């Protein structure tokens, strides 16, 4: 084993042990303490993670040109705080039984999900790296229907296994990119749901350019292709924090499917889905992952941060992923 491999293995083990200890700590703390520590963690990474802080500030400046520099920095601090809380609350949820977890969640618009499953073709649910999307998947599987969650494996195999076990704890299953299209079709044929994130940069030919905050963004065509092929309803879902510390999962009216199987219709559908996401991000900008290089004209920089790396796999056409 090379020195680099040895160092990588040791670093991954230390990362896992840090998460394992943190997870144990969240099991002992009240929810207020969990959120407080998550906020502290987020602010610490805001101060220390220059790479992601710079990306977030550049993205916010382009999306909200009328905000002052002070307002942009305040917003980005709120974003880091939110994702610190998300990590700690997700670890806290991993200790709960399904019934205890559901006592922390309320649903709005779930009738759209029930109606989709009554049609017998499954449901395509889409969101972004927004709010509490990982906890939404757990709650959805526990309260509504099993979900196939499209994802990439994490670079750290120990953290990967921990996250996979958590994602499957309420009846869901993870669909990885290799062979994803076949597995997605199988899940929809079984009248299950499939969850897709639509706010990552995707390479052609599995993408189209749509406008997101008035800038061209390369966006997955997975939803359009699957909606055309299966007839499964496409339902937006967004998960928001409530003032009392609980979480609300909001399901919206299904997006009308592509009118036909043409590039223009696929782009129009993808734009309409992106517009729904943008509406929520504009409303709650502190809940979205601004530190992601969504628009690839933002220069990359070196360094690691609080956000786990994902292994890059050879992709099947028409399938997206979630980290």
Quick: pLDDT tens for 230-282: 999 999 999 999 999 999 999 999 999 999 999 999 999 999 999 999 999 99
296 or 125, which is more confident: 125
Report the mean per-residue pLDDT for the chain: 89
Strand spans (E) along 66-192: 105-108, 123-127, 147-151, 173-176
Q: Which pLDDT score, from 0 to 100, does residue 153 have?
A: 83
Using the predicted structure, report yes or no on whether residue 307 has a pLDDT greater than 60.
no
| pLDDT, tens digit (0-9, with 9 covering 90-100), for 130-146 | 999 999 999 999 999 99
pLDDT band with cut points at 50, 70 and 90 for residue 309: low
- Cα 128 from Cα 83, distance rounded (Å): 14
Contact 240, 130 (CB under 8 A): no
Structure-derived torsion over alpha carbons of residues 261, 263, 265, 267, reported in degrees to the nearest 10:
140
Per-residue pLDDT reduced to its tens digit, 46-89: 999 999 999 999 999 999 999 999 999 999 999 999 999 999 99
pTM confidence score: 0.88
Task: Choose between 309 and 64: higher pLDDT.
Answer: 64
**Residue with the larger pLDDT of the pair 185 and 297:** 185
Backbone angles phi, psi at 90, to 5 degrees: -65, -40
Backbone φ and ψ for 209, nearest 5 degrees, come out as -90, 125
- Check if the beta carbon of residue 147 is closer than 8 Å to that of residue 175: no
Give the span between the Cα atoms of 115 and 64, in whole angstroms: 38
Q: Is the peptide bond before 205 cis (omega within 30 degrees of 0)?
A: yes
In which band, very low, low, confident or very high, does the pLDDT at 42 lie, cut at 50, 70 and 90? very high
Cβ count within 10 A of residue 296: 12
Specify the higher pLDDT residue, 264 or 178: 264
Q: What does the H/E/C string look like for 44-87?
A: HHHHHCHHHHHHHHHHHHHHCCCCCHHHHHHHHHHHHHHHHHHH
Beta bridge partners of 211: 216
């Amino acid at each position: 084993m090379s020195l680099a491999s040895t160092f990588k293995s040791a670093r991954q083990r230390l990362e896992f042990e840090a998460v394992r200890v943190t997870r144990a700590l969240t099991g002992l703390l009240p929810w207020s303490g969990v959120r407080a520590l998550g906020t502290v963690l987020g602010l610490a990474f805001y101060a220390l993670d220059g790479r992601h802080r710079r990306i977030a500030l550049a993205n916010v400046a382009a999306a909200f040109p009328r905000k002052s520099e002070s307002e942009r920095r305040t917003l980005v601090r709120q974003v880091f705080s939110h994702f610190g809380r998300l990590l700690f609350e997700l670890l806290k949820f991993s200790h709960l039984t399904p019934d205890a977890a559901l006592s922390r969640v309320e649903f709005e618009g779930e009738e759209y999900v029930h109606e989709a499953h009554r049609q017998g073709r499954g449901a395509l649910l889409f969101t972004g790296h927004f709010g509490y999307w990982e906890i939404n998947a757990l709650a959805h599987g526990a309260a509504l229907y099993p979900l196939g969650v499209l994802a990439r494996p994490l670079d750290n195999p120990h953290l990967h296994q921990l996250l996979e076990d958590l994602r499957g704890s309420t009846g869901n299953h993870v669909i990885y990119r290799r062979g994803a299209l076949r597995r997605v079709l199988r899940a929809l044929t079984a009248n299950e749901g499939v969850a897709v994130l639509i706010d990552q940069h995707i390479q052609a030919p599995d993408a189209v350019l749509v406008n997101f905050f008035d800038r061209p963004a390369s966006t997955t065509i997975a939803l359009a292709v699957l909606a055309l092929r299966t007839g499964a309803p496409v339902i937006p879902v967004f998960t928001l924090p409530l003032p009392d510390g609980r979480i609300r999962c909001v399901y919206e009216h299904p997006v009308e499917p592509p009118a036909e199987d043409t590039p223009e219709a696929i782009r129009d559908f993808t734009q309409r889905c992106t517009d729904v996401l943008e509406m929520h991000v504009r409303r709650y900008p502190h809940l979205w992952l601004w530190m992601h290089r969504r628009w690839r004209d933002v220069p990359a920089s070196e360094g690691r941060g609080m956000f786990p790396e994902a292994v890059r796999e050879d992709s099947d056409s028409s399938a997206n992923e979630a980290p």
